[in-house]
């Protein structure tokens, strides 16, 4: 576990990143301490197990990108909010997400910014799955004039 992820208080609301190679997120987070879990398909059974323990009981939300591997179990011991939404991406949704990002309400953790010439090391890091945030390719670097 790495607190603050090397970020200043003003740069991101993220206070904790979890190295999934060495620790399981449910073992690191306090019970019923998380507002939202965004599951990117890494743990197909997360709702039926760990998410209910980690999410705040009455207000926690679970969002997953992939179908759940097993039938959804009713919440027995924790968070109660699970809704199904099947989405087809569209520009209107992307515009809404852009507004959220521009207001500073969604701030990604940046692991490394690579110059375009460093594409191969960036791909190696991506393939190794050891990034602790987003890898960014700088295609047109900003130059001061």
Tokens of residue 72, six digits: 């959804």
SS (H, E, C) the chain: CEEHHHCCCCCCCCCEECCCCCCCHHHHCCCCCECEEEECCCCCCCHHHHHHHHECCCCCEEEECCCCCCCCCCCCCCCCCCCCCCCCCCHHHHHHHHHHHHCCCCCCCEEEEEEHHHHHHHHHHHHHCCCCCEEEEECCCCCCC
pTM of structure: 0.47
What is the residue extent of each domain of the chain? 1-92, 108-145
pLDDT in tens, the chain (145 residues): 444 444 444 455 556 777 777 888 888 888 888 888 777 666 666 777 788 888 888 888 877 766 665 666 666 666 665 555 556 668 888 898 889 889 988 878 889 999 988 989 998 988 887 788 888 988 876 666 6
Please give the structure tokens belonging to residue 22. 């060495």
């Amino acid at each position: 576990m790495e607190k603050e992820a090397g970020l200043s208080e003003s740069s991101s609301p993220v206070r904790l990143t979890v190295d999934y190679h060495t620790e399981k997120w449910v073992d690191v987070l306090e019970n019923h301490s998380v507002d939202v879990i965004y599951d990117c398909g890494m743990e197909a059974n997360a709702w039926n197990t760990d998410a209910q323990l980690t999410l705040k009981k009455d207000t926690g939300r679970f969002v997953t990108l992939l179908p759940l591997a097993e039938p959804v179990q009713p919440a027995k011991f924790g968070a109660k909010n699970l809704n199904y939404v099947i989405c087809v991406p569209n520009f209107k949704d992307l515009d809404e997400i852009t507004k959220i990002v521009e207001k500073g309400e969604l701030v990604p953790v940046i692991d490394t910014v690579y110059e375009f010439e460093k594409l191969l090391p960036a791909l190696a890091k991506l393939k190794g799955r050891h990034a602790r945030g987003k890898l960014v390719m700088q295609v047109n670097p900003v130059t001061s004039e």
